[in-house]
Structure 1
């Protein structure tokens, strides 16, 4: 998912939350547009942060995956070496 769609989606959710808040209070939805901008900005920043975290989490997972694969390769080569050594001793 792109950063723009993530930020706009969160900002839209912030606007909807603001409208919901004003609706519960039974206030005019368009009386204070500054509050809408603040809510959209705050939720948009949360969307930006969520996008950056998603990218960083994918990098961390890829690093851990490569470490695990490397360890498994080492264990397999050690086991093969030990097995061939035991076969040579048995003969």
Structure 2
């Protein structure tokens, strides 16, 4: 989780630096803007991590359902 959050934060910081470089403004004249970009992208990274965990749970559940259907299809119940 920490690597995801730090990775997104680093990307946010780099995006802010890139933005200021394109505008040809001083890179560290307003450090609050860098902090805001890093925190906001870090928050996105946290929610992406939670989304990935939920997706893994849903995929595991779906695989279990598919395996059960295959088992039921290959082993039909005995006729009475």
TM bucket (normalised to shorter chain) is over 0.9
1:45 shift after superposition = 0.7
In 1, Cα distance between the equivalents of 2:53 and 2:18? 31
Superposition RMSD on alpha carbons, in Å?
A: 1.5
TM-score normalised per structure 2:
0.93
* Higher alpha-carbon Rg: 1
TM-score normalised per structure 1:
0.82
Matched residue pairs, number?
80
What secondary structure sits across from 1:60 in the alignment?
Answer: helix
Q: Show structure 1 runs of 4+ deviating over 4 A.
A: none
In 2, Cα distance between the equivalents of 1:17 and 1:81? 64
Question: Which sections of structure 2, spanning at least 5 residues, go unmatched?
Answer: none
1:41 to 39, 42, 48: 39
